[in-house]
Amino acid sequence: MRTADDRKSATEAELLVGQDGLVTVNLRGLLDTHTMGALWRALEEQLRPLIVTSLDVEASQLNFRGSGGLALIRYLKAGGFTPGAKVTVSGLNEELDQILRMVAAEDFESYRAQKRRPLSMAEEVGVSVRSLLRDLREQVAFLGRMSAELAAAIVHPGRLRWREVKRVCIAAGANALPIVSLLSFLVGLIIAFEGARPLAQFGAQIFIADMVGFGAVRELGPMMTAIMLAGRSGASFAAEIGTMKVNEELAALTTMGLDPLRFLAVQRVAAGILLTPMLTVYTMFTGVLGGSLVMMSLGFSWPVIYNEMAARVHLHDIGIGLGKSVVFGAIFSAVGCLRGFQTKEGPIAVGVSATRAVVTSIFLIILADTVFAGVGFILH
């Protein structure tokens, strides 16, 4: 079928309506995927209202470019516009006729029947619950294995690949320093500004120092740092390991006798546990700095601010903040690795894993923080 003909002839259908529901359609012009839409609609409009018992389609004056135009002939032949009518198609050359017969009306029926029906509400709920339970089981199993591996790493520190830990610390920690410190500095500023006006009504602006100091050391420092790291580094752990899984690198590690969890995840979690408290110290400092600058602009001198903070914020508060940050660091790095390992097949899988890593990490970090706050309140 040589159909590379660029002639622009108008594509049209001429209808001859005879007696007893006999209709003849004469098709003319170039028929391809671009000209077919208009002709299709015109035929539908003209044929639908008629009561047709027998339809003759005369196609000898049609000029096909490619086989796309045959879709219309097939639809006519299947009685798409004239249900129940006997349809004959004439005027196609032998090659076109062969191509036409490649697809039969039954093919179309089975093709439609295969379409997936959407799940019912009950099925959706069932699928979700099952996947939630499966995920929970995997998380617990991963937590167990990771704890065992970390304990082993503490007993035999030489087994840890320290060069990899250092690389991750630099990529996930040191490189995050500017953005993390800028954000905590700005949050310190915001808290001080927001607190300044209501406290001024009671002449109590000096307590901004308590607010900023306490907030930065116990809550904002650890939490802000952990959430920033979850978004920045946890997602990148998931994407890195996920891409390795898609590229069969994890399979290669396994068959080389190397446990992917020990080889990849333990170093990342160790790095997460080490770097989060370090970054947290920094964010505590920059948060306090931001708040103090606002106070100085309100007329308080540095010794006054310092004394107020020192009277309220004790060493054990800093200890609690750092303790939390260790837990948060473990959470975001372990979740990042777990989501990486859970990556499925296909090109969108890595993106899905990165998103799940961030969502789960932030949820677990805030959940853990709530537990800390509750336990702290009860013990106090």
User: By the criterion CB under 8 A, which residues form the site for another protein?
Assistant: 1-4, 6, 32-34, 36-38, 40-41, 44, 65-68, 70-72, 74-75, 80, 95, 98-99, 102-103, 107-108, 110-112, 114-116, 345-348
Q: Which two tokens stand for residue 240?
A: 């890195």
To another protein, the closest distance from the beta carbon of 111 in angstroms equals 5
- Spatial distance between the Cα atoms of 333 and 335, rounded to a whole number of angstroms: 6
To another protein, the closest distance from the beta carbon of 59 in angstroms equals 16
- Spatial distance between the Cα atoms of 240 and 333, rounded to a whole number of angstroms: 12
To another protein, the closest distance from the beta carbon of 113 in angstroms equals 10
Q: Tell me the three state secondary structure of residue 17.
A: strand
Q: Which of 57, 55, 48, 13 is nearest to 31 (CA)?
A: 13
Contacts (Cβ under 8 Å, ≥6 apart) of 214: 312, 313, 317
Q: Tell me the three state secondary structure of residue 256.
A: coil
Query: Which CB atom, from 70 or from 176, has the smaller least distance to another protein?
Result: 70
Query: Which CB atom, from 81 or from 142, has the smaller least distance to another protein?
Result: 81
To another protein, the closest distance from the beta carbon of 12 in angstroms equals 17
- Spatial distance between the Cα atoms of 194 and 170, rounded to a whole number of angstroms: 35
- Spatial distance between the Cα atoms of 348 and 172, rounded to a whole number of angstroms: 24
- Spatial distance between the Cα atoms of 102 and 112, rounded to a whole number of angstroms: 17
Query: Which CB atom, from 107 or from 194, has the smaller least distance to another protein?
Result: 107
To another protein, the closest distance from the beta carbon of 8 in angstroms equals 13
Query: Which CB atom, from 73 or from 168, has the smaller least distance to another protein?
Result: 73
Compute the chain's Rg from CA coordinates.
35
Q: Tell me the three state secondary structure of residue 64.
A: strand
Query: Which CB atom, from 38 or from 179, has the smaller least distance to another protein?
Result: 38
To another protein, the closest distance from the beta carbon of 33 in angstroms equals 5
To another protein, the closest distance from the beta carbon of 343 in angstroms equals 12
DSSP 68-105: TTHHHHHHHHTTSSSTT-EEEEE---HHHHHHHTTS-H
Q: Which of 301, 361, 284, 359 is nearest to 328 (CA)?
A: 361
Q: Which of 164, 183, 167, 165 is nearest to 175 (CA)?
A: 167
Query: Which CB atom, from 110 or from 201, has the smaller least distance to another protein?
Result: 110
Query: Which CB atom, from 104 or from 371, has the smaller least distance to another protein?
Result: 104
Contacts (Cβ under 8 Å, ≥6 apart) of 191: 208, 211, 212, 215, 220, 291
Please name every residue paired with 17 in a beta bridge, in sequence order, or none if there are none. 23
To another protein, the closest distance from the beta carbon of 228 in angstroms equals 30
Q: Tell me the three state secondary structure of residue 350.
A: helix
Burial zone of 338 (CB within 10 Å; 0-12 exposed, 13-18 middle, 19+ buried): buried
Query: Which CB atom, from 299 or from 347, has the smaller least distance to another protein?
Result: 347
Query: Which CB atom, from 33 or from 53, has the smaller least distance to another protein?
Result: 33
To another protein, the closest distance from the beta carbon of 68 in angstroms equals 5
